[in-house]
Structure 1
Amino acid sequence: MVDLTREMADLMAALKGGARAADSGRGRVILFAAACGGEGVSTVVREYARCEAAFARRPVWLIDADLRQQTQLEAVLDEPARFGPPGPVSSATPDGSVFFALEPKALDAQGQPVPDSQYLIARSFLDKRLWVTRLRDHLLLPGQKTRLFEQSSYWQALRTHAQAILVDAPAFDRSDAVLRLAPLVDGVVLVVSEGEGEIDARVALKTQIEQAGGRLLGMVYNKSRATVPLAGRKSAHG
């Protein structure tokens, strides 16, 4: 069990107002990412989601965008003392849209394509203040693959039902998902662990995110006490 409550409270304060201003009553979307595997992105975003949900007036959604290695829902289920009992399996889309496509499409008994939305589920925790998604990858057929949409109405549709939408992206050294998603969200938080990864790779990812149209909100130093803004920025509000 990793308890980052104090660090995540500091991050919440730093990010307040840092993301692009959303329309009134619409939740913000924040992407958590890292240049290299092993830097603790999934742990950080999960802890951040738990802390924000504790104070949220509307639900917080934790989106597991690592479509090849789904881990978030299982991790939350493994900590009932901190996240509470899970709610029933539910649809993870308010309008049938999703942020990925399956190729090739599966067919139902009538020979019609199975909607991709049927592969994305969610379960609620903390008295429905936190929702965690999962791709039902065990239902994928041999040869079926997932592809992220570069444009999707999913994020806009979910905003009306959430206070915050927190996206866990796979590490950049094995997927370019962060660059595909960065232009679609309100801001990106980079996670760095002491003693992990290469400095050049982290700097390069920051540059690529900005070139892709994303906005860097800040950097979290995992496994340390410091949560600081990115170099060159006055604060997460800048």
Structure 2
Amino acid sequence: MSRIYDALENRDMDAKQAKTLERILPQVETTADDGCEMESEMNTLYQTITAALPDRQHHSVLFVGARQKEGTSTITRELARTVASRLGKRVLLIDCDGNCDEFAYQAVDPSVKLEDILENNTTVDKVVCPVNGSNLSILPFFMWADSPGVRTSYNENGHAFWNALNERFDLVIVDYPQEMLTNGPVMTSKVDGVIIVVEAEKTRWQVASSLKDKIVKNGGNVLGVVFNKRRHYIPQFIYDRL
């Protein structure tokens, strides 16, 4: 089945008046069963991200779906895989949703407590899991996402934690469930940018716009929108409503 990913860069939205999208970034087209096409388009998406954040040597980007099952995990996994394997970058995929079981890596010791690392500012090595034979690592954040202790420690000490990750990796990608915006550690303000994943032709623009407002309210920098599973072009007037 063909899927099309469009990356859109937004200008800031005034609190009282919605602005139109500033410009449409390069369109990304791929076919699910064609690995070469997937890699090519993930490379384009990566170049788009780095172009949107020109002043940073290391990049951290959070992907969140406007609704459940928008394909966020598929995009984050493929982007992480491509940037690590084809571009030779050191990539960390922070899995907040438990969807990275296709990668082969040694699991974190169950006795390790993320809140201890956050509170004591100790090495992140205990929670970062290198994927066998690659430049990709996984941080299985979902293991601690429901812990009140982690939520408190992260909100208080998350800045130092992110500094350590950004120093170690060229690209940090976060696969972030939407419900964590209200029920879990808020990462939107800690990353360089946020990309909203929308299922084309099914997700209403009001839903995406509401999510964008919530992210901005939480201190996030919305880079744009990725349209997933797109079959036809969406008229410009719909873009203008975001």
User: Which of 187, 192, 206 is the equivalent residue of 1:200?
Assistant: 206
| Residue 30 (str. 1) matches residue 61 (str. 2) | yes
Which sections of structure 1, spanning at least 5 residues, go unmatched?
Answer: 78-85, 103-114, 233-238
Identical aligned pairs, as a percentage? 23
* 1:167 aligned partner: 174
Do 2:196 and 2:226's aligned partners in 1 also have CA atoms closer than 8 Å? yes
1:56-102 CA-to-partner distances (Å, cap 9, x unmatched) read 444111111x2xx4121x1334xxxxxxxx5x5578xxxx9x9x648
User: Which of 181, 191, 201 is the equivalent residue of 1:185?
Assistant: 191
User: Which of 55, 73, 98 is the equivalent residue of 1:70?
Assistant: 98
* 2:41 aligned partner: 7
User: Which of 130, 134, 138 is the equivalent residue of 1:132?
Assistant: 138
- What TM-score results when the alignment is normalised by the length of structure 2? 0.64
SS in 2 for 1:180: coil
Q: Does the C-alpha gap of structure 1 residues 225 and 50 become closer, same or farther in structure 2, counting only changes over 3 Å?
A: farther
Deviation at 1:204, TM superposition (A): 0.6
Give runs of ≥4 in structure 1 deviating > 6 Å.
115-119, 225-228
Question: Whole-Å Cα distance in 2 between the matches of residues 169 and 213 of structure 1?
Answer: 16
Question: Whole-Å Cα distance in 2 between the matches of residues 179 and 20 of structure 1?
Answer: 27
Do 2:94 and 2:141's aligned partners in 1 also have CA atoms closer than 8 Å? no
Do 1:33 and 1:170's aligned partners in 2 also have CA atoms closer than 8 Å? yes
Aligned residues: 193
Question: Whole-Å Cα distance in 2 between the matches of residues 178 and 186 of structure 1?
Answer: 19
* 1:122 aligned partner: 129
Question: Whole-Å Cα distance in 2 between the matches of residues 182 and 193 of structure 1?
Answer: 21
What letter corresponds to residue 160 of structure 2 in structure 1?
S
Deviation at 1:210, TM superposition (A): 1.7
Q: Does the C-alpha gap of structure 1 residues 9 and 152 become closer, same or farther in structure 2, counting only changes over 3 Å?
A: same
Question: Whole-Å Cα distance in 1 between the matches of residues 210 and 181 of structure 2?
Answer: 15
* 2:84 aligned partner: 53
SS in 2 for 1:170: coil
Deviation at 1:119, TM superposition (A): 7.4
Deviation at 1:186, TM superposition (A): 0.4
* 1:105 aligned partner: none
User: Which of 217, 225, 230 is the equivalent residue of 1:224?
Assistant: 230
What letter corresponds to residue 120 of structure 1 in structure 2?
V
- What TM-score results when the alignment is normalised by the length of structure 1? 0.65
Do 1:123 and 1:131's aligned partners in 2 also have CA atoms closer than 8 Å? yes
SS in 1 for 2:230: coil
